[in-house]
Amino acid sequence: MDEERFVELAGDIAVERAISLPADPDSVWEHLTDGNLVGDWMEGDVEIEARPGGRITMTPEDGSMVWGTVEEIIPGRRLQWSWRTDDGLPTQVEIELEPSEEGTDLTVRETLLPWKTSGLPPRWVDPPYPQAFLSAAA
Amino acid sequence: MRPHEVFAALADPTRLEVLTRLARSGPATATELSSSMPISRQAVAKHLVALSVAGLVERHPSGREVRYSFEPGPLGDLARWADDVGDTWDRRLDRLSRSIEG
């Protein structure tokens, strides 16, 4: 399988959650990007360099470090990073904030990123995946 | 088999087509599959090996032929991965909400 084709056809397995929060987007943003506040709701110690290309690490209470790179930051609006979870799977996390009557609507989407398993270094790519298969298996 | 390996096995369109045909029409040999697809028997056989390694098809040798059947198990692993990730975010968002209301 040539590399281009892999990049073009690797899939998109994603999990999405949404929640309505009683605070304005700027306050919610602080909870997402302030290292002291993030640790309160993520699982474990979190360090985040809030800039594109910045490092993000999380050390869960029960295990090994999860590490990755901040990819996009729009203060008060959008935060995106990619990381490898403790079981070795690379994923991309996108968090979006929208102002609402109550305060803020937050949406989070975590997508499984395929990577080449040949001798080449891990390579993360964007996708469209056969969702039909997932629903068939569920 | 880890989710990303299953994933890689599904990432080729022709291979996905081979698997789709087995899932829809039931077990078949490489020869039968190639007769209804625009690729050679050898090419189909290669894809079947890759699918077999990923655990997505099962081999059933009978005489000189091998029939292959669709095995959905690894796709269940993907579904379980998605459930775990969803549970984790449910917990995190619940704590975030309480932390903000705090």
The share of chain A scoring above pLDDT 70, in percent, equals 69
pLDDT at B2 exceeding the cut of 50:
yes
Q: For residue A8, name the pLDDT band (cuts at 50, 70, 90).
A: very low
The pairs formed by A131-138 with CB atoms below 8 angstroms and a separation of 24 or more are A131/A12, A133/B10, A133/B19, A133/B23, A133/B75, A134/A13, A134/B75, A134/B78, A134/B79, A134/B82, A136/B23, A136/B72, A136/B75, A137/B72, A137/B75, A137/B76, A137/B78, A137/B79, A138/B76, A138/B79
Task: Using the predicted structure, report yes or no on whether residue A5 has a pLDDT greater than 60.
Answer: no
CB atoms within 10 A of CB B43: 17
- Chain A interface, best mutation among B24, B80, B85, B92, by max A CB count within 10 A: B85
Residues of A in contact with B96 (CB under 8 A): 19, 21, 31, 40-41, 106
Of A104, A81, A77, A106, give the one whose Cα is nearest residue A93. Answer: A81
Distance CA B42, CA B31 (A): 9
Range of A32-41, A71-80, B52-61, B62-71 with top mean pLDDT: A71-80
Cβ distance of A90 and B4 shorter than 8 Å: yes
Q: What is the pLDDT of residue B35?
A: 95
The answer, yes or no, to whether residue A65 has pLDDT greater than 90, is no
pLDDT at A137 over 50: no
Residue B101 above 70 pLDDT?
yes
pLDDT of residue A113: 72
Q: Which residues of A touch B101 (CB under 8 A)?
A: 22
User: Mean of the per-residue pLDDT values for chain A?
Assistant: 74
Distance from CA of B65 to the nearest CA of A (A): 26
> What is this structure's pTM?
0.69
Residue among B75, B95, B101 whose CB faces A133 most closely: B75
Of B55 and A89, more confident: B55
SS3 category, A14 = strand
CA A10 to chain B, closest CA, distance in angstroms equals 5
Q: Which two tokens stand for residue A93?
A: 């996390």
pLDDT of residue A39: 87
Q: Given a cut of 50, is residue A131 above it in pLDDT?
A: no
